[in-house]
């Protein structure tokens, strides 16, 4: 029994995932300590020069910087297991509480972005694939290319500049949460989601197109067509059904990426998301904040990958059999 559990694929995957997260933890811990300056200099700035040695020592003890690195690492890791992600002295809040505020922002943004990208990318990809190398294919591909080539910060900055005079600036009202002011919240999420979706729709569109073309050349579709199944139905049911696997994989990948990759857009549109939490943490040298937050993002990424993998098995009969 135990042997079967150990040998089971899921167990192995979970073990790999845990190992990966441990690696991320070590990496982020070391990198942070290598950045010049610490929380004392980050908080006091040039005034830190005027601190006496006793004052400096006092502050280092206060921020927990006086302990040996190994002790710092293991006490952080140990605390993680007991659910204590650390404390942000800047925000006077636990990292868990901070994350409880910032993570939903980013997750919501990521979900909206993915929905928008699917809405744009999949139909566009099917349109392109419906008549390869035609004008419409060319047009579809051009959009895809534009999406791949226009960076989010450029699109976001130009959108904001363009809208500046129009009076439409929901993000200037201060962030509204989805639960308290859903309508305002959606307005605030709209532009950043559009900006991100523009970039993410492109790979989804390309994946859809390739997948559809590939599936269409498969024997059973040819047979179905020969049997007289209407092309439109064929398109949606069979072709898209079978192209779902690569599209799902792609989407999962992009979602995982968005958790940590929306940082530029969060910055431009003043969204208090998790990316900004890390950025501010790095600036303020709040080690616990950065370490735990990066680990949370990495966990999200790993989980999304596991989920994609599971979904993939669910959708694709071939994988299920093997």
The residues, any chain, with a CB within 8 Å of residue 62's CB and separated by 6 or more, are: 89
By CB under 8 A, is residue 250 in contact with another protein? Answer: no
Pick from 103, 215, 243, 263: which binds another protein (CB under 8 A)?
263
The dihedrals phi and psi of 262, each to the nearest 5 degrees, come to: -85, 5
CA atoms of 54 and 31, how far apart (whole Å):
28
In terms of CB distance, is 197 or 244 closer to another protein?
197
By CB under 8 A, is residue 103 in contact with another protein? Answer: no
By CB under 8 A, is residue 235 in contact with another protein? Answer: no
Q: Kindly report the number of other CB atoms within 10 A of residue 18's CB atom.
A: 11
By CB under 8 A, is residue 9 in contact with another protein? Answer: no
Min dist CB 228 to another protein, Å, is 26
By CB under 8 A, is residue 46 in contact with another protein? Answer: yes
By CB under 8 A, is residue 205 in contact with another protein? Answer: no
In terms of CB distance, is 49 or 233 closer to another protein?
49
In terms of CB distance, is 76 or 175 closer to another protein?
175
CA dihedral sign of residues 191, 196, 199, 205: negative
Judged by CB under 8 A, which stretch of 2-10, 71-79, 179-187, 223-231 contacts another protein?
Answer: 179-187
Measured in whole angstroms, the distance separating CA 223 from the mean position of its chain's CA atoms is: 41
By CB under 8 A, is residue 153 in contact with another protein? Answer: yes
By CB under 8 A, is residue 36 in contact with another protein? Answer: yes
By CB under 8 A, is residue 112 in contact with another protein? Answer: no
In terms of CB distance, is 36 or 228 closer to another protein?
36
In terms of CB distance, is 95 or 224 closer to another protein?
95
Reported for 16-21, long-range contacts at CB under 8 A and 24+ positions apart, including other chains, are: 17/302, 17/306, 20/298, 20/302, 21/295, 21/298, 21/299, 21/302
Q: Binders of another protein among 79-98, rule CB under 8 A?
A: 88-93, 98
By CB under 8 A, is residue 101 in contact with another protein? Answer: yes
Q: Kindly report the number of other CB atoms within 10 A of residue 189's CB atom.
A: 23
HSE-CB at 266 with a 13 A cutoff on CA atoms is 25
Min dist CB 3 to another protein, Å, is 21
CA atoms of 263 and 265, how far apart (whole Å):
5
Min dist CB 21 to another protein, Å, is 7
Min dist CB 182 to another protein, Å, is 12
- Strands 87-88 and 93-94, sheet pairing: antiparallel
In terms of CB distance, is 153 or 220 closer to another protein?
153
Bridge partners of residue 93, in order along the sequence:
88
What are the structure tokens assigned to 97, written together? 């509480």
CA dihedral sign of residues 15, 17, 23, 25: negative
Min dist CB 276 to another protein, Å, is 6
CA atoms of 78 and 97, how far apart (whole Å):
19
């Amino acid at each position: 029994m135990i042997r079967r559990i150990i040998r089971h694929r899921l167990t192995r995957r979970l073990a790999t995932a845990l190992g990966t997260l441990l690696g991320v933890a070590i990496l982020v811990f070391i990198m942070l300590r290598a950045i010049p300056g610490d929380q004392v200099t980050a908080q006091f700035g040039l005034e830190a020069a005027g601190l006496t040695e006793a004052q400096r020592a006092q502050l280092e003890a206060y921020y927990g910087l006086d302990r040996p690195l190994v002790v710092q690492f293991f006490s952080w890791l140990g605390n993680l297991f007991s659910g204590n992600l650390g404390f942000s002295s800047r925000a006077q809040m636990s990292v868990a509480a901070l994350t409880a505020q910032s993570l939903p922002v980013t997750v919501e943004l990521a979900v909206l972005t993915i929905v928008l990208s699917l809405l744009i990318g999949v139909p566009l990809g099917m349109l392109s694939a419906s008549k390869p190398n035609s004008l419409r294919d060319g047009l579809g591909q051009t959009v895809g290319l534009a999406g791949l080539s226009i960076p989010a910060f450029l699109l976001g900055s130009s959108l904001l500049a363009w809208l500046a005079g129009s009076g439409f600036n929901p993000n200037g009202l201060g962030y509204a949460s989805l639960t308290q002011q859903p309508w305002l919240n959606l307005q605030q999420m709209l532009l950043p989601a559009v900006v991100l979706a523009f970039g993410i729709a492109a790979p989804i569109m390309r994946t859809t197109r390739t997948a559809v073309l590939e599936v269409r050349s498969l024997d059973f579709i040819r047979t179905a067509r020969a049997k007289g199944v209407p092309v439109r139905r064929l398109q949606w049911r069979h072709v898209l059904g079978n192209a779902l696997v690569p599209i799902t994989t792609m989407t999962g990948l992009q979602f995982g990426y968005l958790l940590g990759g929306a940082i530029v857009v969060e910055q431009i549109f003043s969204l208090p998301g998790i990316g900004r939490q890390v950025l501010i943490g790095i600036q303020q040298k709040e080690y616990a904040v950065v370490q735990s937050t990066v680990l949370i993002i990495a966990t999200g990424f790993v989980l999304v990958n596991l989920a994609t993998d599971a979904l993939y098995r669910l959708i694709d009969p071939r994988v299920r059999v093997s």
